[in-house]
Amino acid sequence: MAIELDNSFTVPVPPEQAWDVLLDVERIAPCMPGASVTSVDGDEIQGQVKVKLGPLSLSYKGTAKFIEKDQAAHSISIEATGKETRGAGTASATVQASLAQADGPGETLVAIHTSLNVTGRPAQFGRSLLPEVSGKLIAQFATNLQAMINADGAATAETAAPATAAPETAAPETAAPETGEASAVAEAPTATPAPATPVAARPTAPVIKREESLNAFTFVVIPILKRLVPVAAAGAVLAIALRRLRRKKP
């Protein structure tokens, strides 16, 4: 089953900085629920993705490769292929991402177009469910990525802050005794150390929600069922009303 997907999210840094962040695959991989990187060799990444849909548990191992990196245009193209570890299903995708200045200052809008082709059990999800899954997945990734960037910014700001040096108290100079005099030399007073400057408490970094697998049932199927239940209930009430009207007819 082939499908085209379009998603977007915002990164809280300018495009030039967002470019470097998004190319650091090993670092941002934990921000994607269910994804893990096993190795990186140049532009080729080996990894694994786990997906759960109710009782259905899927695990893919595959390869992703950068086929285009246009830093001037801030665009990236990736080709990815994977195969189920416990099944015959396959997945392949071509991902094109572009970075642009967002409406807010110091923010980047990342637009992603994915051409996805899946076979096997995932094809049972249907065309209506896959966009829901990808949209929720990208939203969770963006939330985790923003938390990571904010934590990095807080740590960098703390490291760059100049330390306040404590003023030194100089001991008063004592004149040297003249030659031939038997007078004792008074001891110089000991300098009293200045009180230590209190160290500011280290800000707590935002917690990144790291999930071992993408549980699509929790954040996709249940919301869909919640929307369908009122519709089904209204349909049942209407059917009962029509049946009663028919019974009243002579």
Parse the chain into domains and list their residue ranges: 2-157, 215-248
C-beta neighbour count of 61 within 10 angstroms: 13
In the predicted structure, residue 21 carries a pLDDT above the cut 80: yes
In the predicted structure, residue 223 carries a pLDDT above the cut 50: no
| Mean pLDDT, rounded, of the chain | 76
Q: Name the one residue in this structure whose structure tokens are 């110089």.
A: 188
Q: Name the one residue in this structure whose structure tokens are 């938390």.
A: 147
For domain 2-157, which CATH number applies: 3.90.1150.10, 3.20.20.140, 3.30.530.20, 3.40.50.300?
3.30.530.20
Q: Is 58 in a helix, a strand, or coil?
A: strand
If we measure between CA atoms, which residue out of 128, 151, 148 comes closest to residue 140? 148
CA distances, 134 to each of 32, 128, 156 (Å): 11, 11, 33
Q: Give 64's pLDDT tier (boundaries 50, 70, 90).
A: very high
In terms of pLDDT, which residue wins out, 200 or 114?
A: 114
In the predicted structure, residue 65 carries a pLDDT above the cut 80: yes
pLDDT at 143: 92
Alpha-carbon span 245 to 98, nearest angstrom: 59
pLDDT at 16: 94
Tell me the DSSP string of 75-139: EEEEEEEEEETTSS-EEEEEEEEEEEE-SSTT-EEEEEEEEEEE-SGGGGG-TTHHHHHHHHHHH
Neighbour-count burial of 82, counting CB atoms closer than 10 A to its CB (0-12 exposed, 13-18 middle, 19+ buried): buried
In the predicted structure, residue 172 carries a pLDDT above the cut 70: no
Range picked from 3-17, 122-136, 229-243 for highest mean pLDDT:
3-17
